[in-house]
Chains A and B, each alone.
Chain A
Amino acid sequence: MRTADLITAAVLIAGAALVIFDSLRLGVGWGTDGPNSGFFPFWLGVGMVAACLLIAFQALRRSADKPFVQRAQLSSVLKVLWPATAAVVLMQFVGLYVASAIYMGFYMRWVGRHRWATVAAIGIGVPVATFFVFEKWFLVPMPKGPLETWLGY
């Protein structure tokens, strides 16, 4: 927990530094008609640095405690996270519908060990239904790939 607290504080301080840097470019003063563009972000950034330093200080004074996450826990979290990330990467190339079919099918089979029939029915049925709802009825375009282009969308 302590290490995680320190890392989070460090990341947030780095982010705040970026904010302060950009605010200085915009002007942090109080003009004739109120604050400049950078005024609020600047002080928000300064406040963030101060608060994070205090959090880090608190964490340092604490003795080492239970770990942030156990190995088994981390592996189950990653088991959700990496297929989801892979699916998002895939979306850039094959579009949302195909990517979600592959992702859902893979996950159902790999984690749930569901029967192939179930996997196929849901893995294909859900994206197809979504396609009709969004592209046909609601006319809300989703990311599309070669398959949809071939179908004329």
Chain B
Amino acid sequence: MGLENLALGFHHAVTPFNLFVAVIGITLGTIIGVLPGLGGANGVAILLPLTFTMPPTSAIILLTSLYWGALFGGAITSILFNIPGEPWSVATTFDGYPLARQGQSGQALTAAFTSSFVGAFFSIVLITFFAPILAEIALKFGPPEFFAIQLLTFSSFVGLGGGNPLKSLVSILIGFILAAVGLDIVTGQLRMTFGFTDLMKGFDFIVAVIGLFGVGEILLSVEEGLSFHGATTGMNLRVVLDTWKTLPRYWRTFVRGSFIGFWMGFKPGGATPASFMSYAFAKRFSRHPERFGKGELEGVVAPETAAHAAGVAAMLPMITLGIPGSPTAAVMLGGLIIWGLQPGPLLFKEKPDFVWGLIASMYTGNILGVLMVLAGVPFFAAILRIPFAILTPLIVVVCAIGAYAVHSSMIDIWYMLIFGVVGYVFKKLDYPLAPLVLALVLGDLAENALRQSLIMSQGTLTIFFTRPIAGAITAVAIFFFALPVITPWWRRLRGLPAAAPAPRET
């Protein structure tokens, strides 16, 4: 392990052809990341057949570059239009969109891209030097540990939302119920489909998010007058440098986000909960939690750092164990087999040039990526200057394309419209949307992990406490769940005044 291997890797990754391939991949990836519904996994799957004629190292560089591009690109529409291009950019909308509405889209985009890069770089360094050890840790995570992580993600959000607690509860319940529609993988039974075959595939998270956030937001903003509150400040690359000056003060958030992201990224579907958890912790530890949700730059830094760190970490189990850490990695693994490589623990020994080329390309790909997207900041921000009557139908069409692309299914476009109206009504009635989305994305995973664990333990809940890792995580989660109860009691004990009422959650 270590530097000489990495040097070998750079020798393979930094050829003119491979750099060219990386630029193509990042460009395509950014487009795919911008389009909601076309995730990194789709993008990689789409390009996979084109890679057959390439040498494996170039092929994997193309696909991973596309993945980095998608990770960067997901933030763009989140910030500009409140439409998360990727699941892990949902938390980016919470503060990114308010920033854009205040005319600070350039700052928000710069912060998002830079944070993504920092998170990615942190993960890549860890992978370079500790890959095999980290892979062994990943193996220790079975269903009970997985459930404990889901529990922790939820608990980190508890007590953060203000407003009517009953409405937050309803929002969570709706998310869980929607997540349960479709096939129950544990028993193989169809749930809540009422004989409609269209309901069989359930409600996709992306479709719900496009509707609730994207279409719902359009309706809300037209209500306030037919306009978008776009950027009005002059847009040039100065904004990047100016924003950079303010970023170092968030170093704690960077470190925390990187750790959360890397640690969550091991397991499938890790990037989305990681981004939520990082956002929740940033708000918890902030001295100004009341500013979150209204346009706090830190609220962009936190989720983006974690999401990109997790996205990179998802590559680790793929390289070291031959198991996918994310749907995108799953498709890439298929690619390895098709290119005639055997994914798995022996890849490091049998194909060092490939593995280290891949790791080196993570460095070059992310550096190229961040430079390319940062250079695009003025261009992206200028999109908001397009007249309203052109932008609105354009967004609706892009949303429809995104919703359709998820399952190639017309019904999803209808769901999107319905979710749009629901999002509009809920926002006006102060039903928070974030808990709904979080429950929808984690509900399925959490229920499966819980029930798998219970089958393993033959129905006893002690399995979450007797296994050391699961026990520790569960204990932390319970602590967070209890925090809203403990805090006032603790303050009274210490003779401190009661805390100010919690700020409203978006």
Contact = CB atoms under 8 A, between A and B. Distances in A.
A and B touch in the complex (CB under 8 A): yes
Interface of A: 1, 4-5, 8, 12, 15-16, 18-19, 22-23, 26, 30-38, 40-41, 44-45, 47-48, 51-52, 54-55, 58, 68-69, 73, 76-77, 79-81, 83-85, 87-88, 91-92, 96, 100, 103-104, 107-108, 111-114, 118, 122, 126, 130, 133-134, 138-143
Contacts of B454: 33-35
Contact of B405 (A31, A79, A140): A140
B401 A96 contact: yes
Given A12-B170, A104-B393, A104-B394, A45 B421 contact: no
Interface in B439-459: 447, 450-451, 454-455, 458-459
Interface of B: 31-32, 38, 42-43, 46, 164, 166-167, 169-170, 173-174, 176-177, 180, 184, 186-187, 189, 191-192, 194, 215, 218-219, 222-226, 387-390, 392-394, 396-397, 400-401, 404-405, 408, 410, 413-414, 417, 421, 424-426, 428-429, 431, 447, 450-451, 454-455, 458-459
Interface of A is mostly: helix
Contacts of B387: 112, 114
A-B CB proximity, top 4 nearest:
A112-B389, A34-B454, A107-B393, A104-B393
Classify the secondary structure of B's interface with A.
helix
10 contacts: A18-B194, A34-B450, A36-B187, A52-B170, A68-B429, A73-B224, A79-B222, A104-B393, A139-B46, A140-B46
Contacts of A100: 393, 397, 400
Contacts of A88: 400, 413-414, 417
Contacts, number: 171
Contacts of A18: 192, 194
A103 B393 contact: yes
Contacts of B187: 36-37
Which of A30, A55, A111, A140 counts the most B-chain CB atoms under 10 A from its CB?
Answer: A140
Contacts of A15: 177
A151 B447 CA distance: 47
A80 B219 contact: yes
B493 to A, nearest CB: 31
B189 A26 contact: yes
A67 to B, nearest CB: 11
B451 A34 contact: yes
A76 B46 contact: no
Nearest to B189: A37
Contacts of A84: 215, 393, 396, 417
